[in-house]
């Protein structure tokens, strides 16, 4: 969770700067569902899916695959392959996100229709759709993997919303594509529930993310070996409709440089500037540099938010890194429960822990280096790329410190006092199993009026935090005393700020969520759904719309991971199987 390089070339950010960034970056989409950039009311929502406005610029402006056969193969000199979703037996809507539907201009009546289930499971195309799968490569666990591509993701096309925004609609699990290698292109309910809920949970937490419009069943069964241990079983098939301004990844650029296809690389970068970064100006060498700098900035912003809420992506390969700084591809993710920087939810990463929580900032930089290598042929200058990478580190460290100040309820990060205050706290949290989410939420209950003198009662200071500790016996007398000493330092620091307790608690509760999508909660929803009961999916979707609110009737979701979930599959470690 801490910054991974000690030097910080940019100085301290004030709390208000962090709040401005959150507002500008993550609330725009919500507001634009009603008003456009000029404050004018947007045009009327579509009465039917045929009324959606498609403008498939990606397939119109970029080179496509000239081979039409839908079979596993190497696709050369193309950004995408045209492909049709597979027809399924019995499309059935499980859930949809009403905010995403509103953003796209789709009414509730349309969402609840049979046609909606058919279209967003892949059984029917409406006017204007031009389905395709993207070609990209990637570094997986630090090694170049060659061509990867959308093996089971099929974009239906790009729509223009009632407010004039461009959104790509993409089905995950809708059938095979030329990039599937030896897989079937399908997805199962287990992983689809997790992706659907997490996409929306992250958005409402204020974390940059792709969105999820819908979750549907296919009416078919899919063979999956969940832990790759030779024991496959049939699971219900499902499809998630994902939504983003763009699904372009670092790997989209890497593949063309690796194959020495500079003309296609330039076409893709130019397209990206014109469509995803128009504010940077027309394509040019200088603007390629500005674009890479902006990608570095957006990536730093995203990682800081992951660290703020305790999110672990689990598979930070370069093909899972968005050029818009969006969290993309929800596979074996998880939230820290007991604070452990070395924790990863991914069984594939259990030994090396390359993508563990504490490594995420450095891995993001490593991935940016691979993107820099990919676009170097267009720039042919090392220095500006290196400067952008250094700015990533400086920006991340500045934002991380400001974020930690906000989590602690401080007006601003003061390096003279707060560097050691934060470092010592994070070391304390590792000495006994301490629930990260609960600890920071409960820390707001500590009164700044608590006596800071050494003789103050440790028990009284620690009392508000007791619900965060998993194993009370781990709180040894020595650790108890250390925790009390830290809390007295913290109270003195709060006193120097002079904020009223009510103001500080409001600030802390705005960035320290009460509710996150713990893996055991998602697994409970999956268990019910596999038996035909979707009620917990709907309940969690509603709960996670307001993760910072108290919601007293939902307190059962704001407790520590139960003991039964400590080692249960799906609740602790997960695989990429889906």
Q: What is the pLDDT along the chain (578 residues), one digit of tens a residue?
A: 545 543 333 334 344 455 454 444 444 444 434 445 545 568 888 889 999 999 999 999 999 999 999 999 999 999 999 999 999 999 999 999 999 999 999 999 999 999 999 999 999 999 999 999 999 999 999 999 999 999 999 999 999 999 999 999 999 999 999 999 989 999 999 999 999 999 999 999 999 999 999 999 999 999 988 766 778 999 999 999 999 999 999 999 999 999 999 999 999 999 999 999 999 999 999 999 999 999 999 999 999 999 999 999 999 999 999 999 999 999 999 999 999 999 999 999 999 999 999 999 999 999 999 999 999 999 999 999 999 999 999 999 999 999 999 999 999 999 999 999 999 999 999 999 999 999 999 999 998 776 556 656 888 899 999 999 999 899 999 999 999 999 999 999 999 999 999 999 999 999 999 999 999 999 999 999 999 999 999 999 999 999 999 999 999 999 999 999 998 888 877 877 55
218 and 307 together in one domain = no
111 and 247 together in one domain = yes
109 and 67 together in one domain = yes
Report pLDDT for 450.
67
Distance CA 537, CA 524 (A): 9
434 and 295 together in one domain = no
Residue 506 lies in a domain: no
Contact 248, 276 (CB under 8 A): yes
Per-residue pLDDT reduced to its tens digit, 126-159: 999 999 999 999 999 999 999 999 999 999 999 9
Distance CA 47, CA 223 (A): 38
304 and 431 together in one domain = no
Single out the residue in 382, 407, 432 at which a domain terminates: 407
Residue 10 lies in a domain: no
Residue 546 lies in a domain: yes
291 and 328 together in one domain = yes
Residue 555 lies in a domain: yes
Query: Which member of 8, 158, 319, 418 is catalytic?
Result: 319
The total number of structural domains that make up the chain: 4
In which domain, by residue range, is 337 found?
284-407
Report pLDDT for 447.
87
Q: Which pTM value belongs to this model?
A: 0.93
190 and 327 together in one domain = no
Retrieve residue 315's tokens.
């598979």
Report pLDDT for 9.
33
Residue 491 lies in a domain: yes
Residue 232 lies in a domain: yes
202 and 334 together in one domain = no
Residue 387 lies in a domain: yes
319 as an active site residue: the answer is: yes
What's the helix, strand, coil split of the chain in %, to 5?
45, 15, 40
DSSP state of 91: -
Write the CB contacts of 522 (distance below 8 Å, at least 6 apart in sequence). 193, 194, 197, 198, 540, 570
Residue 571 lies in a domain: no
Distance CA 34, CA 26 (A): 15
The position carrying tokens 């579509």 is 46
Report pLDDT for 452.
58
Contact 318, 139 (CB under 8 A): yes
322 and 461 together in one domain = no
244 and 294 together in one domain = no
Contact 171, 200 (CB under 8 A): no
Report pLDDT for 44.
86
Distance CA 161, CA 42 (A): 9
Contacts 24+ apart (CB under 8 A), 499-505: 499/409, 499/411, 499/448, 501/447, 501/448, 501/449, 504/409, 504/444, 504/448, 505/409, 505/444, 505/445
311 and 448 together in one domain = no
238 and 313 together in one domain = no
Give the CA-trace dihedral at 93, 94, 97, 101, to 10 degrees. 0
Single out the residue in 240, 268, 296 at which a domain terminates: 268
Single out the residue in 498, 528, 543 at which a domain terminates: 498
Using DSSP's 3-state secondary structure scheme, residue 293 falls into helix
């Amino acid at each position: 969770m801490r910054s991974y390089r000690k030097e910080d070339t940019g100085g301290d950010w004030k709390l208000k700067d962090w709040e401005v960034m959150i507002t500008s970056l993550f609330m725009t989409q919500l507001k634009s569902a009603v008003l456009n950039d000029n404050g004018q009311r947007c045009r009327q929502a579509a009465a039917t899916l045929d009324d959606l406005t498609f403008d498939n610029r990606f397939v119109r402006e970029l080179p496509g695959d000239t081979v039409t056969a839908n079979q596993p193969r190497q696709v050369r000199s193309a950004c995408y392959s045209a492909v049709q979703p597979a027809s399924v037996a019995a499309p059935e809507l499980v859930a949809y996100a009403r905010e995403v539907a509103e953003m796209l201009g789709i009414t509730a009546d349309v969402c609840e229709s049979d046609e909606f289930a058919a279209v967003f499971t892949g059984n029917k195309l409406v006017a204007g759709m031009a389905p395709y799968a993207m070609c990209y490569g990637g570094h997986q666990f630090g090694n170049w993997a060659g061509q990867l591509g959308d093996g089971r993701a099929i974009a239906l096309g790009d729509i223009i919303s009632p407010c004039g925004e461009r959104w790509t609609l993409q089905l995950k699990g809708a059938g095979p594509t030329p990039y599937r290698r030896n897989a079937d292109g399908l997805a199962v309910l287990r992983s689809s529930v997790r992706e659907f809920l997490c996409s929306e949970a992250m958005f409402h937490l204020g974390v940059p993310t792709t969105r999820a419009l819908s979750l549907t069943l296919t009416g078919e069964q899919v063979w999956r070996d969940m832990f790759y241990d030779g024991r496959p079983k049939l699971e219900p098939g499902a499809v998630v409709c994902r939504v983003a301004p763009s699904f372009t990844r670092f790997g989209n650029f890497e593949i063309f440089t690796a194959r020495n296809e500079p003309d296609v690389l330039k076409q893709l970068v130019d397209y990206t500037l014109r469509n995803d970064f128009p504010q940077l100006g027309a394509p040019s060498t200088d603007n390629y540099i500005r674009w890479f700098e902006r990608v570095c900035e957006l990536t730093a912003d995203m990682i800081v938010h992951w660290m703020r809420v305790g999110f672990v992506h689990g598979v930070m390969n370069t093909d899972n890194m968005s050029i818009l700084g969006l969290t993309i591809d929800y596979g074996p993710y998880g939230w820290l429960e007991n604070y452990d920087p070395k924790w990863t939810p991914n069984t594939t990463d259990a030994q090396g822990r390359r993508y563990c929580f504490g490594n995420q900032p450095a891995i993001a930089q490593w991935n940016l280096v691979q993107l820099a290598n990919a676009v170097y042929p267009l720039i042919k200058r090392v220095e500006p790329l290196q400067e952008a990478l250094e700015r990533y580190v400086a920006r991340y460290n500045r934002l991380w410190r400001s974020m930690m100040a906000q989590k602690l309820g401080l007006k601003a990060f003061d390096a003279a006092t707060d560097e050691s205050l934060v470092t010592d706290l994070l070391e304390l949290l590792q000495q006994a199993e301490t629930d990260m989410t609960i600890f920071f939420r409960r820390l707001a209950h500590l009164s700044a009026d608590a006596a800071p003198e050494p003789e103050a009662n440790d028990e009284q200071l620690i009392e508000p935090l007791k619900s965060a500790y998993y194993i009370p016996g781990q709180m040894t007398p020595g650790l108890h005393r250390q925790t009390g000493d830290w809390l007295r330092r913290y109270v003195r620091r709060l006193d120097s700020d002079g904020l009223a307790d009510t103001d500080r608690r409001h600030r802390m509760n705005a960035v320290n969520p009460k509710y996150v999508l713990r893996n055991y909660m998602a697994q409970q929803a999956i268990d019910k759904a596999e038996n035909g009961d979707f009620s917990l999916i709907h309940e969690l979707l509603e709960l996670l719309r307001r993760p910072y609110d108290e919601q007293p009737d939902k307190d059962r979701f704001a407790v520590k991971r139960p003991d039964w979930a400590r080692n249960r599959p799906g609740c602790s470690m997960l695989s990429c199987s889906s």
